[in-house]
Amino acid sequence: MEEKTISEEVMDQESASVDCLVVDDSDRVSVTSADNASMLTEEREAEIACEEYDRKQAEEEASLCENIEKLCKELWPAPTTLRHRLMRCARQTRLGRVLTPAIQEPVIKRMEGGDLNHITSITIPFSYAKDSHDLILRIPNYKFQQFYRVDRDVGILSYVRKYTDIPIPFVVKSDFTTQNALEKPYVLQQRIQGTNVNAVWDSLNTAQRCQIAKQLGEVNKTLRIIKSPVAGLIEVVTDANSTGPTPNANGDESFKIIPFEIHKYKTHDVLPAITEPRAPQSVLDVLTTQLTRWEAFETAHDYANDQWQMLINVVREMDDLGVFADQTHCLCHVDLHSGNIMVDIDPVDGSVKISAVIDWDEAIFAPEFVNCRPPCWLWADEDTMQTDEDGYDPWPHEMPGAGGVPGTEDDQEIKRVFDESAGGGRYMSMAYGEAFRLARGIWRIAKDSLDVCQGYKAADRIAAEWAMMREKMMKERDQNSDQ
């Protein structure tokens, strides 16, 4: 065998290395090309899926708009007076169309908002109807039909109108079936005149803001007067295939309070409410039952985690220390933010009056402290108050500090007016008490689940804050027992 010089061996090694590099680069280019092709395919499939979703939504919207027009024609047929018949005849000619004014027809306009329902504004000409000319049509959003029920919406409004003097939208007509032009359940409500507080707040002076604070406090107090021995959802009693509430023997609407449903928005899994008759419930009973149901539901669906039992333990400890001692279940709106308060401003003296409280979709019977979340938007920038150390909204947990003194004398006066109007000491103990602040967070989790990372973080935060609070409360209890 011919011996190679050192330089020749080095050259052979370099050549082999180059060959390896060339092969490696070729393989890498081949793999990269395949990856890129796969990524492009996935991106295109995602684009096609989005396009298909948009197309279906557009078709759904177009079909719904056509059906809304059909519904309007059924509910408000074109006037048949002699005057209108003559106008129609006259407009059949070119000259008649020039000389004769157009016949007014219902004006239909899609409105923004409404996470769970499709909202449409309908304006009826005076020639079509004697009253209720400005209406709001609510139809369940097809994506959330199992979570938003028209019969419950109507039931809540009917209940509030029957048992309180809180101004709310008037239900003009409802149909709980699909046997109508829309092929969907719907509710027609009176459209409230005025504007929401959020739109005018910055233009109001302190006196006007105090007027709103006083009236909103009275709304809060009124809600807490309406009691129930059990917590749950409000339903109006109906018959099968009913288009509306079924009157009782006295001709009035009948209502029932049913337990909360268990449902996952992401997976659309639903565990129906318990339907058997219930005995009066304590706050401990309601919270532990609901948390236990969630734990069992998620275990059955392979979602389970130990936070449910952690929260059950916190609730039991709260009850042992008397946090829920004098709590009852009351009517709760649960969403009294500035966008849901409609107001009228007198053009002469500038006085402000709440014309309606809207968006009762989520109203429930719940422990009284649930209805006592402070409306900090009245006297502070709520966005800054509801931001954790990482800059995120801590919901469903409430950050501490709502009971602090507002930064200006004007805001202090607004807060004082609201607190006093809402019930003074009793309200303030539930609104600003630290244990009740944590209990409200637990309530929201018990009702709506730990559906997002935000919820898991909130549960841990609540448990950690309670551990420190509990230690302090136990020391105070021991000191009081020694005296």
pLDDT, tens digit, 9 for 90 and up, residues 32-63: 666 666 667 877 788 888 888 788 878 888 88
| Cα of 421 vs its chain's centroid, Å | 26
Q: Given a cut of 80, is residue 145 above it in pLDDT?
A: no
CA distance linking residue 221 with residue 417, whole number of Å? 13
pLDDT at 22: 43
**pLDDT tens-digit map of 346-356:** 999 999 999 99
* Closest to 210 in 3D by CA, of 372, 373, 382, 420: 420
pLDDT at 289: 93
Region 385-402: what's the mean pLDDT?
A: 77
Range with the lowest mean pLDDT among 222-226, 392-396, 460-464? 392-396
Q: Which two tokens stand for residue 49?
A: 């899926």
pLDDT band at 417 (very low <50, low <70, confident <90, very high): very high
Region 435-451: what's the mean pLDDT?
A: 93
Nearest-10 Cα torsion for 80, 83, 88, 92: 150
Q: Given a cut of 80, is residue 468 above it in pLDDT?
A: yes
**pLDDT tens-digit map of 160-189:** 999 999 999 999 999 988 899 999 999 999
| Angle between helix 434-448 and 283-300 (nearest 10) | 40
Using only the alpha carbons of the chain, give its radius of gyration.
31
Region 139-165: what's the mean pLDDT?
A: 83
pLDDT at 92: 66
Region 126-154: what's the mean pLDDT?
A: 75
pLDDT at 18: 40
Q: Are the beta carbons of 356 and 167 closer than 8 angstroms?
A: yes
Q: Given a cut of 50, is residue 191 above it in pLDDT?
A: yes
CA distance linking residue 421 with residue 378, whole number of Å? 14
Q: Given a cut of 60, is residue 268 above it in pLDDT?
A: no
pLDDT at 193: 83
pLDDT at 221: 97
CA distance linking residue 436 with residue 324, whole number of Å? 9
Q: What is the DSSP string of 239-268?
A: -TT-SSPPB-TTSSB-EEEEPPPEE-TTT-
pLDDT at 197: 96
Region 11-32: what's the mean pLDDT?
A: 47
pLDDT at 20: 41
- pTM recorded for the entire structure: 0.79
Domains of the chain and CATH, by start: 53-191 (3.30.200.20), 194-231+281-482 (3.90.1200)
Range with the lowest mean pLDDT among 269-273, 305-309, 456-460, 477-481? 269-273
Q: Which two tokens stand for residue 67?
A: 């059906």
The residue among 74 and 354 whose pLDDT is bigger is 354
72-76, 122-126, 220-224 — which one is most confidently predicted on average? 220-224
Q: Given a cut of 60, is residue 156 above it in pLDDT?
A: yes
Residue in the block written with tokens 């609510």: 138
Region 126-152: what's the mean pLDDT?
A: 74
E runs forming strands in 147-193: 171-175, 186-190
Average of per-residue pLDDT values in the chain: 82
Region 448-467: what's the mean pLDDT?
A: 89
Nearest-10 Cα torsion for 435, 439, 441, 446: 160
Q: Given a cut of 90, is residue 198 above it in pLDDT?
A: yes
pLDDT at 4: 45
Q: Given a cut of 90, is residue 384 above it in pLDDT?
A: no
